[in-house]
Chains A and B, each alone.
Chain A
């Protein structure tokens, strides 16, 4: 209760006491978020009996690699992993380039019909993805892109959310910079690549992480487009063996999910600094 007692202004202890209270709340929140996640990783080393144990156990009584070896044995994990990385990187690069281009065009260039274009982009945000699944697939099939990487990557190359994010960020950049570039005789592409893009780094980091995550976790679309197993991505591959018609093999599922999630953590840790900065700057306007 000491945390709630008001402390005199200017006292050195005040921020610390305030923080202790905040830390307590944060710790509880963190535990709620992390506990299931930790259980997933720990339990991927358990056998079926222990996974079902009641009350749930934490540490595996007899740790086993059986789930992993079964998964690796059944799955062409190298292939699925390569597909996932390739698709996620291509999607991320595409989003970084096209969303920022479109965002720039919507934020800083004046041309007739701009609002209609923006309206179209926004309306795409409001249509649930499921409703667009079959029509998009029909278009992809008519382009002859079924069972190709291009078919998996293309439809997600300029996500409306990303366009919106970049537009909002670029809107906040001073026009004077662009005008200065124009005065010096730079063309639109030069302005975009040399002035705008470098200033967008925090927003690009945010967009990069979001795009990578979305592509990495994507399940339905890669499954629908891929017609042969050598085009499957990791989530599709893991679901293939872990989820059966009637029953789930939780051991396989936990091991598969752990393998699925580790690369994401690596990406996030690497980009974290930019990511946090991106959120902070976006809020500054």
Chain B
């Protein structure tokens, strides 16, 4: 009796599973994309735009300028939360219910371009005006499928007041100086730790990868077909990363929110993070704290490369108003509109020309990020990257917490990444 029951149950499950599969089975879309020109003439009609978080909240304010300049155009912005926005877009692509324009996270570009749902960027948009590091992730198979709207990059945040106390007059510029500064913070300025580095898991790959790039190393082959994780540069990067923890210069565990607290309370001296933390630290640190820290280009070996991220704008193929959609994107990436957007949302302009504006150039902390963007790299643009990133971060945790050898970790990274492949 029990057996028969189990068999029936199995059949039922199979039936449901096959239904699921057929629903998912959708052809990946042709790769014969050619960028169609955008017709001249006035922008017209209604555009639906999806944007996440604060961007979605504040975009209508900016878009009013486009509506004013183009009578008859209506921009309808749907704001949505960043968490789960990826799933919402994936669902919309599968069901064909996409908007005209959407904001997408850079790390989703390869996946969405692969579905064939995105329009290639037309010649109307001058892609040369963007930071090259920002164009990398939107370029899939040699063709641009999106336009960088804003960028972010990691710079070195340091407690300038405590560094002076520790007897060092300028921000570290090399790996050796970084290590020396971390020691000086701890020994002379009496901080609990010298630097905050993620001890594995979320965010740790974004600190480790630049260490590889800074030695001239790469994590993926130039043709994008295989990962290159078991390299001398990777072993060197892991060894250097691990040494901060072994020497007690970086905390081996933390809770959400600890880093912000430690930095503002002087328990750590330095941290690699992005421009959004300038405002955050100033709020948490209270009045006058913004004079106690500074932002500098990341230290390096042969180069001082950092991590570049950001978000991009895409147009979907089944948009009924694609000409106006591209005109809107072109307008959003004009230098003066980009600086206006910086004023509203504090997002860093992806257009190099926008950085000449006094609002950015005159702010010592912010100008540093523009400088860093000229030496920054994006994560590899392959669909399997999220998985590979995960396994890299697992290995980082193993060497930091589990005390395993960097050489073995690099070898395991390569093995597992080879099994996953690059999806091409």
Q: Report A's interface with B, CB cutoff 8 A.
A: 48-49, 51-54, 74, 115-116, 119-120, 122-124, 126-127, 131-135, 137-142, 146, 219-220, 223-224, 227-229, 236, 239-241, 243-247, 250
Complex Cα distance A196/B91, Å?
40
For B257, list chain A residues within 8 Å (CB): 51-52, 250
State whether A119 touches B54 (Cβ < 8 A): no
- In whole angstroms, how far apart are the Cα atoms of A229 and B57 in the complex? 11
Q: Give 26 CB contacts A-B under 8 Å.
A: A48-B283, A51-B257, A52-B264, A54-B265, A115-B5, A116-B11, A119-B5, A119-B12, A120-B12, A120-B16, A123-B12, A124-B16, A127-B20, A134-B24, A135-B20, A137-B91, A137-B92, A138-B23, A220-B87, A223-B84, A223-B88, A227-B78, A227-B99, A240-B79, A240-B80, A245-B82
Q: A137-B94, A246-B152 are in contact. List 7 more A-B contacts (CB 8 A).
A: A52-B264, A140-B95, A220-B84, A224-B92, A228-B78, A240-B79, A244-B276
Q: How far is the CB of A251 from chain B (nearest CB, A)?
A: 10
Contact pick for B12, options A52, A122, A229, CB 8 Å: A122
Q: Does B218 belong to the interface (CB within 8 Å)?
A: no
Is the CB–CB distance between A135 and B280 below 8 Å?
A: no
Q: Are A52 and B261 in contact (CB under 8 A)?
A: yes
A138 near B94: Cβ-Cβ < 8 Å: yes
For the complex of A and B, the 9 pairs showing the least CB-CB separation, nearest first, are A119-B12, A135-B23, A141-B95, A123-B13, A239-B81, A137-B91, A120-B12, A119-B9, A123-B12
Q: Tell me the bound Cα distance from A183 to B257 in angstroms.
A: 68
Query: How many A-B residue contacts, CB cutoff 8 Å?
Result: 128
Report chain B residues within 8 Å CB of A134.
23-24, 90-91, 94
B288 neighbours in A (Cβ, 8 Å): none
Q: B19 in the interface, Cβ–Cβ < 8 Å?
A: yes
For window 244-301 of B, CB contacts with A under 8 Å fall at 257, 260-261, 264-265, 274, 276-277, 280, 283-286
A135 touches B19 (CB 8 A): yes
Cβ contact of A240, chosen from B4, B56, B286, B311, cutoff 8 A: B56
What is the 8 Å Cβ interface bit string for chain B, positions 164-190, against chain A (1 contact, 0 not)? 000000000000000000000000000
Q: Across the interface, which residues of B come within 8 angstroms of A243, CB to CB?
A: 53, 81-83
Please report the C-alpha to C-alpha distance between residue A208 and residue B350 in the assembled complex, in whole angstroms. 51
A142 CB → nearest B CB, Å: 7
* Residues in B70-121 with C-beta less than 8 Å from chain A: 78-84, 87-88, 90-92, 94-97, 99, 105
Q: Is B69 an interface residue (CB 8 A)?
A: no
CA distance A28 to B176 in the complex (A): 50
Known contacts A52-B264, A54-B265, A146-B95; A126 and B284 CB within 8 A of each other? no
- A115-B5, A120-B16, A246-B152 are contacts. A52–B260 as well, Cβ < 8 Å? yes
A256 to chain B, nearest CB (A): 11
* Given A223-B84, A228-B78, A250-B257, A141 contacting B8 (CB threshold 8 A): no
Chain A residues with Cβ below 8 Å from B15 are: 120, 123
A224 CA / B92 CA spacing, docked (Å): 8
Tell me the bound Cα distance from A177 to B185 in angstroms.
Answer: 80
> B residues near A, CB below 8 A?
4-5, 8-13, 15-17, 19-20, 23-24, 52-57, 78-84, 87-88, 90-92, 94-97, 99, 105, 152, 257, 260-261, 264-265, 274, 276-277, 280, 283-286, 311
The reply to whether B81 and A135 form a contact with Cβ atoms under 8 Å apart is no
Known: A49-B284, A127-B16. A224 touches B87 (CB 8 A): yes
**Interface contact B82-A244, CB-CB below 8 Å:** yes
In whole Å, how far is B256's beta carbon from the nearest beta carbon of chain A? Answer: 8
| Of A54, A74, A133, the contact of B261 (CB 8 Å cutoff) | A54
B contact residues around A131 at 8 Å (CB): 20
| A232 (CB) vs chain B CBs: closest residue | B80
Per the bound structure, the CA–CA distance linking A66 and B127 in Å amounts to 43
Measured CA separation A190–B354 after assembly (Å): 74
B-side contacts of A244, CB under 8 Å: 53-54, 82, 276
Q: Are A115's CB and B8's CB within 8 A?
A: yes
> Are A246 and B274 in touch, CB under 8 angstroms?
yes
- Complex Cα spacing A245 to B105, Å: 9
- When the two chains form their complex, are residues B79 and A229 in contact, meaning their CB atoms are under 8 A apart? yes
Let me know if B9 and A247 touch, CB within 8 A. Answer: no
Closest CB of chain B to A59's CB: distance in Å? 19
* Contact between A141 and B261, CB atoms less than 8 A apart: no
Bound complex: CA A241 to CA B54 (Å)? 7
A residues in contact with B99, CB < 8 Å: 227
Q: Please name the residue on chain B nearest to A121 by beta carbon.
A: B12
Contact with B81, one of A139, A223, A247 (Cβ below 8 angstroms): A223
Closest partner residue, chain B, to A138 (CB atom): B95
Chain A residues whose C-beta falls within 8 Å of the C-beta of B88 in the assembled complex: 223-224
The smallest C-beta distance from B204 to any residue of chain A, in angstroms, reads 16
Q: Are A116 and B12 in contact (CB under 8 A)?
A: yes
* Contact partners of A239 in chain B: CB under 8 A: 81, 83-84
- A146 B97 Cβ-Cβ under 8 A: yes
Judge whether B277 and A247 touch: CB under 8 Å. yes
Contact A142 B95 (CB under 8 A): yes
Q: Give the residues in chain B near A141, CB-CB below 8 Å.
A: 95-97
A223 to B91, alpha carbons, bound, how many Å?
11
Q: Are A52 and B91 in contact, CB atoms less than 8 angstroms apart?
A: no
CA distance A228 to B49 in the complex (A): 10
Tell which of B19, B95, B265 touches A137, judged by Cβ atoms closer than 8 Å.
B95
- Inter-chain CA distance A123–B14, complex, in Å, is 9
Assess whether B11 is in contact with A119, with CB atoms less than 8 Å apart. Answer: yes
CA distance A54 to B265 in the complex (A): 9
Chain A residues lying within 8 Å of B8, measured Cβ to Cβ, are 115-116, 119
Nearest to B55 among chain A residues (CB) is A245
Residues of B within 8 A of A241 (CB): 53-54, 57
Residues of B within 8 Å of A139, CB to CB, are 23
**A51 contacts across to B, CB distance below 8 A:** 257
Report how far A137 CA is from B95 CA in the complex, Å: 7
- Whether the Cβ atoms of A74 and B78 lie closer than 8 Å is no
Asked if B20 and A132 sit within 8 Å, CB to CB, the answer is: yes
A127 / chain B contacts, CB cutoff of 8 Å: 13, 16-17, 20
